[in-house]
Amino acid sequence: MVEPAYTVTSDSETTGEEKSSTFPEIAIGIDIGTSQCSVAVWNGSQVELLKNTRNQKIMKSYVTFKDNIPSGGVSSQLSHEDEMLSGATIFNMKRLIGRVDTDPVVHACKNLPFLVQTLDIGVRPFIAALVNNMWRSTTPEEVLAIFLVELRAMAEAQLKRRIRNVVLTVPVSFSRFQLTRIERACAMAGLHVLRLMPEPTAVALLYGQQQQQTSHENMGSGTEKIALIFSMGAGYCDVAVTATAGGVSQIKALAGSTIGGEDLLQNMMHHLLPNSENLFKNHGVKEIKQMGLLRVATQDAIRQLSSQTIVQVDVDLGDGLKICKAVNREEFEEVNRKVFEKCESLIIQCLQDAKVEVEEVNDVIIVGGCSYIPRVKNLVTNVCKGKELYKGMNPLEAAVCGAAVEGAIASGVNDPFGNLDLLTIQATPLAIGIRADGNKFVPVIPRDTTMPARKELVFTTTHDNQTEALILVYEGEGEKAEENHLLGYFKIMGIPAAPKGVPEINVCMDIDAANVLRVLAGVVMPGSRQPAIPVMEVRMPTVDDGHGWCAEALNRTYGATLDLVTLQKKA
Amino acid sequence: MLATSFSIVTLTTTNFSVESISSLSHHVKLQSTVSFATARWTEKQQQQQHRHVSDLSLHQMASCTTLYEILGIRVTASDEEIKAAYRRLARVYHPDVAPAERKESFTGEFMKIHTAYRTLSDPEKRANYDRSLIRRHQKPLTMSSSSLWGFSGYTSHKWKTDQCW
C-alpha cells in the first residue's frame, strides 16, 4: 500500500503541490494521563508516537520544582523514584485540576508528598511544592502548563516545525468547568485546543479507522459493529458503547467516574499501614519521606501482583516503623472491592444507556494502565459474558493514537487512501439542566445526547406576581441541584406580573459543533405571539472559580424567592 | 472538483504505464489501485448527486416534511435501511464534515436528521409516529407555543419547519 503512494508521488509532475497539500499544519494528539503521558501525530500514512531524548514514547506526568527551575517528566529523569516523592515534585495534576476543596478527590490527594491544603468552603485548594525547605505555591493549571511546554518542545524538536494546534484526551467525567481549566493550561503553554476528546471516544475513532481499513481490504459492505470500550488509568475509569460502520462511529453512550489506579494504591497503602493518615498529617520532612517509601513499596507490590499471586512487602519507614507482610492477589482484590464494583456498574450503566444487549457487542476493547490488572480484565470479561477481548490495540497508546487521528481530520488533512475518511458522532457525557421544582436538578439536555444538540423545556413562576427568575445552570447526574457542578447563572427580569404558574418561561440549551454551550431563556404569556421581554443568551460556564462557594452564596442570598417549576404540559 | 477528477485519472494513467513493464503480481496491485480510485470517484459522484437531493429536501422542509422524507427513505424501510440512511446523511451534514460556509445551516439539518433517526430507529416511537402520521392527514396542524421562539441561530427554514411538528 505504501509503495504505490511513493511511486505515484515521485512520478507526478505535481509533486511539489502534492507534498505541500499532504502536510498542512497538523494538530498533534496528546494524552496526559494522571500518571503517564504520550504524544502522537499523523505522519502522512499512519499514526506515529513521538519520543523524548531518552527514546521514550510513554513518559511520566509530573513536574519537579527543584532548584527554582521547574522541569517535567518529559525531558528530565529523577535519579531515584524516591525523589519523585520528596515534596518538590507535583503529580496527579489531572486529578486536581478544576476541583474545589470540598471534593473527596482533593482530600485524597492530601496523602501525597506535595502539599494540598483545604479550607472546605468550596474554593480551589492550596497546592505547594517543597523547594529549598520552603513551601512554594502553585496551581494545577500552572503545573500542567509547564508540562505541556516540555511536551511541545519535544514535539517541535522531533517534527522540526512549530506546533500550535492540539487535540487532547480528557476523562468522560470532566465537567465543562474542568474542560475550561484544561484549555487555560494549554493557552498558557502556547497551544490552541482544536478539540477535547473523551478518552473512550478517541479509542472509538481509532477502532473506526481500523474497521474501515479492514473493510477496504476485504471490499466489505461496511456492516455495523458495536464495540464496548473500557478505559481505566491511574485517575479515571471511562466506558463507551459505539456503533461503527462505513467509517462513521456513533457514540451511543458514555459513562465515567473518578476511580483508577490511584485509588487502588491508596487503599493498599491504608491496608498496609492503617494509621497512615494520622501519622502523615503534619507533612514534615520525615513524614514526607515515609509517605514516599510506603508509596513506592506499595506500587511495586501491586505491579507484581499482576503477574504473581503473592508478593512480599518489606519496607523500613524509620523511627522503628517497619512493614513486613506477604500480600496475595485475593487480599488486594478484597481491599479494593468497592472500586472494582464501581467499574462493573459503569459498564452495565453504559450498556443500558445505549440500549445495547451484551450479546449484541461485537468487540470488547480494554485500554489504560489498569487494563493489565487481572481483576479488571476479569470483571470486563464477566460482564460481557466471557467474550474474548479485542487484540488490535496497544492499551497504553490507543487513546493518544485516536487523538492524533482526530488532529489530522480536524486539521483538514486529505489522505488519498481514505484512512482519514472518518466521522465520529459524539455524545454529551453529562446531563445539563437547571435548578427547579424546589431544589431539584432538572435536565434540559440529557446524558448521552448526540452533539450538536438543542433542547428546550418550559418552566413557570412559583409566586404570584413574581417578576424575576434566577436561572442556575448545573451539569452532572445528581438528583439535587447542588450534587452537580454549577456552571453559571443569570437572572431573568421583567416577567409580566401574573398569578403563579401563568407565565411561560422557555429555557433552551444549545451545544454547537465546537462543543460550546449556550443557554437561552425567554418569557411568553399564554395567548400572546410575541416574547414578553428580550430573550437572554448566556454562554456557559460563567463561573470561573470557587463554584462550590458560589452555589452556597446564591442559595443563602436568594433562597427560593426566584425559583421556577417545570410547566406541566396540558393534554 | 473537475480538476480533482482529472488529477485522479492522470495519476491512474501514469501508474498504469509504469506498471505495464512489471510482473503479474504488480498488475494485481495496479488493479487494486484502480479499483480504489474508482471507488473514491464514485463516492464523490454520490456526494455530488446527493447535494442536488439536499437542495430539494431543503425546499421540502417548508412543506411539512415527514421524518421518512428527512432521511430519504420509504415508510416501509427496514432498520438497516434507516441506519444506512442516517450514516449517509451524517457524512454530508455533520458539522465536522460540512463545508465551512454552510456549517451553521448544515448543523441545523444534522440535528433534524438525528431526531428523525432517533425516532424511527426506536420501534415503539416509530409505531407512535406512524399512528400520528395517519392522524395528521385527518386534521389541521396546531401551533405550539414553544415554536414562537426564534431560538435557532440557523436557517429561516427552521421557523417554518417548527410549525409542522
Q: What is the CATH number of the domain that holds A291?
A: 3.90.640.10
Query: Does residue A417 lie in a domain region?
Result: no
Residue A514 lies in a domain: yes
The whole-number average pLDDT for the span A492-497 is: 92
Cβ within 8 Å, pair A508-B7: no
In a domain, A12, yes or no: no
Coil/strand/helix, residue B159: helix
Task: Please state which CATH number belongs to domain B74-136.
Answer: 1.10.287.110
Q: Is the same domain home to A265 and A254?
A: no
Specify whether A456 is located in the same domain as A540. yes
> Burial letters for A87-121: b for 16+ Cβ neighbours within 10 Å, e otherwise?
bbbbbbbbbbbbbbbbbeebebbbbbbbbbebeee
Tens of pLDDT, residues A412-437: 887 888 889 899 998 999 999 998 99
**Which residue of B lies nearest to A411 if distances are taken between CA atoms?**
B96
From chain B, the residues in CB contact with A454 under 8 A are: 111, 151-152
Same domain, A269 and A252: no
* pLDDT computed for residue A81 by the predictor: 58
**Inter-chain CB proximity A452 and B145 less than 8 Å:** no
User: What's the whole-number mean pLDDT along residues A390-412?
Assistant: 93
End-to-end CA distance of chain B: 38
Task: Look up the CATH number of the domain holding residue A218.
Answer: 3.30.420.40
Q: Cβ-count burial of A64 within 10 angstroms (0-12 exposed, 13-18 middle, 19+ buried)?
A: buried
d(CA A123, CA A98): 10
Range of the domain at A438: 430-566
What does each of the 165 residues of chain B score in pLDDT, given as a tens digit? 333 333 333 333 333 333 233 333 333 333 333 333 333 333 333 333 333 334 334 433 444 678 998 999 978 999 878 989 998 899 899 998 888 887 879 999 899 899 999 799 999 889 999 988 887 666 554 444 444 444 444 333 333 333 333
Asked if A90 contacts A143 with a C-beta cutoff of 8 angstroms, the reply is yes
C-alpha cell at A279: 501519622
Within a domain: residue A18? Answer: no
Q: Taking CA A131 as the corner, what is the angle to CA A129 and CA A134, rounded to the nearest 5 degrees? A: 90
| Structural domains in chain A (count) | 4
Q: How confident is the model at residue A340 (pLDDT cuts 50, 70, 90)?
A: very high
Q: Say if B105 is an interface residue toward chain A (CB within 8 Å).
A: no
Give which of A407, A415, A349 is closest to A383, Cα–Cα.
A349
Q: Residues A316-338: pLDDT tens digits?
A: 888 788 898 899 998 999 999 88
Whether B6 has its CB under 8 Å from any CB of chain A: the answer is no
Residue A227: name the closest of A245, A1, A181 by CA. Answer: A245
Q: Do A4 and B33 touch (CB under 8 A)?
A: yes
Using CA atoms, how far residue A421 sits from A412, A415, B129, in Å, is 11, 8, 34
How far is residue A251 from each of residues A278, A383, A425, A448, A531, measured CA to CA in Å?
A: 45, 20, 6, 8, 37
Grid-cell match 514534615, residue found: A284
Residue A177 contacts by C-beta under 8 Å, 6 or more apart in sequence?
A98, A475, A485, A487, A541, A543, A547
Best of B34, B40, B94, B161 to substitute, by most chain A Cβ atoms within 10 angstroms, is B94
Query: Would you call B101 an interface residue with chain A, using a CB distance cutoff of 8 Å?
Result: no
Residue A105 is assigned to a structural domain of this protein: yes
What is the mean pLDDT of the segment spanning A234-258?
94
Domain residue spans in chain B? 74-136
Instruction: Choose one of A194, A218, A245: the last residue of a domain.
Output: A194
Residue A309 has pLDDT above 70, yes or no: yes
Does the pLDDT at position A520 exceed 90?
Answer: yes
Q: Is B151 an 8 Å CB contact of chain A?
A: yes
Reported as a single tens digit per residue, the pLDDT across A182-228 is: 998 999 999 989 889 998 999 999 999 998 887 765 545 567 889 99
Q: Report which DSSP code applies to A389.
A: B
